[in-house]
Amino acid sequence: MMASGIWWLASYPKSGNTWLRAVLCALISGKPADINRLSLLGGFAGSRSLFDAALGIESAALSRDQEFNLRPRVFEVMAAEAARPLYCKTHDACQATPAGEPLFPTAATRGAIYVVRDPRAVAVSLAHYQARPLDEAIAALDDPDAVSGGSTRRLSHHLRQYLRRWSEHVASWLDAPFPVHLLRYEDMQADPHAAFGAVAAFLGLSSDGAAIAAAIEATTFARLQAQEHAGGFIEKPHHAAAFFREGRVDGWRQALTREQAERIAAAHGAMMRQCNYDTQLGPLTARRGAA
């Protein structure tokens, strides 16, 4: 493995990746994180401009398969040219390219933090983020061809990223051929000091309690939300009202109908239980009817 290498900060979309990056930014820099400069950690694996710069070619002139097949080369170039370890966000499932090689080359990889969040909460957050009906977001979680970015109608800043089904996404990272630290969003909320302390230890960063406490204090949900209100957030899609919307662990209990929650549990129950999510519903507080 090279001296630098990439730590992947991986998650299904809307699972807490931005919060993780904000805390890491604050921890590494010792300063409050600027939400519009999180890419200083190492960039976004799905970035089109990063692809073009690393390979010296316009991805816009390539076919989808060519683009996908070349992505491992991008990560190799990034790792080889970095003077320090990189911390790169990704929403891709950990998978093979159409040419059959790993999308995330082990030689360029140090390891991964995988952030997992209750898929019932992910569905609600995704529906707001993508300004689409809840039932569509729930269907997307169970779509084996689910993708993020890379519309055919326009050129996106993001390359097409293949998410797969939510359960497959989680499994793909847990089975990755390099060290992976599983981080539950709910644990980040319940005991951030313990959760981020474990992250820092896994990454070999300072696990000094005061430094971690300061990083957490600098990146509370209210502070991140206030930054977005004040100066916008470059990762917010144009059609979404806000990126930092609610951030609650159990908000899905008010947002989902029983039938919707049961549909998610039926599709992903095995992986939910593996990740320690209770698939028994208990009381749902607000919605009764169909979505």
Partner 1 sequence: MSYAYRLAALKIESDLALPDLSPWDGSGISEPDISFRLGAVPPRLHEPDHSEAIFQTRGRDEYLLVLPGTGRILVRHGRQVTVELEHGADPINTCALLTGPIQAVLWHQRGLVPLHANAVVIGGRAVALAGTAAAGKSALAATLARDGHQPLADNLCVLDDAGKTAPAMVLPGVALLRLWRDTIEHLAIPADGMASALSGRDRFLVDRWSACREPRALAAVIVLVRRSSVALTIERLSGITALGALRDMVQMRRPASALGRSSEILGCLTRLLVVAVPVWRLQLPDDVSCLSDAAAEVLGALEQP
Among 70, 112, 261, 272, binds partner 1 (CB under 8 A): 70
Write the binding mask 233 to 262 for partner 1: x where contact by CB under 8 A, - elsewhere.
Answer: xxxxxx------------------------
Residue of 88, 69, 68 lying closest to 78 (CA atoms): 88
Q: Is 124 within 8 Å of 11 (Cβ atoms)?
A: no
Strand 161-162 to strand 147-148: parallel, antiparallel, or no bridges (unpaired)? Answer: antiparallel
H helices of the chain, in order, are 17-29, 48-55, 64-81, 119-129, 134-141, 166-174, 185-190, 192-203, 209-218, 221-231, 252-255, 258-274
Query: Is 156 one of the binding residues for partner 1 (CB under 8 A)?
Result: yes
Nearer to partner 1, 69 or 274 (CB): 69
The sheet carrying 6-11 orders its strands as: 86-90, 6-11, 109-116, 180-184
- To which H or E segment does residue 90 belong? strand 86-90
Write the binding mask 169 to 208 for partner 1: x where contact by CB under 8 A, - elsewhere.
Answer: ----------------------------------------
- End-to-end alpha carbon distance in the chain: 50
- Show contacts with partner 1 in window 205-224 (CB under 8 A): none
Q: Minimum distance between the CB of residue 160 and partner 1, rounded to whole angstroms? A: 10
Q: Which of the ranges 68-76, 86-94, 111-119, 172-180 carries the binding residues for partner 1, by CB under 8 A? A: 68-76
Among 30, 31, 40, 65, binds partner 1 (CB under 8 A): 65
Q: How far apart are alpha carbons 46 and 44 in whole angstroms?
A: 5
Q: Which of the ranges 65-73, 176-184, 273-281, 282-290 carries the binding residues for partner 1, by CB under 8 A? A: 65-73
Please give the single-letter amino acid code of residue 136: E
Write the binding mask 16 to 55 for partner 1: x where contact by CB under 8 A, - elsewhere.
Answer: --------------------------------xx--xxxx
Write the binding mask 85 to 124 for partner 1: x where contact by CB under 8 A, - elsewhere.
Answer: --------------x-------------------------
Q: Is 290 within 8 Å of 259 (Cβ atoms)?
A: yes
Binding residues with partner 1: total (CB under 8 A): 37
Q: Which residues bind partner 1 (CB under 8 A)?
A: 48-49, 52-66, 69-70, 73-74, 76-77, 99, 152-157, 232-238
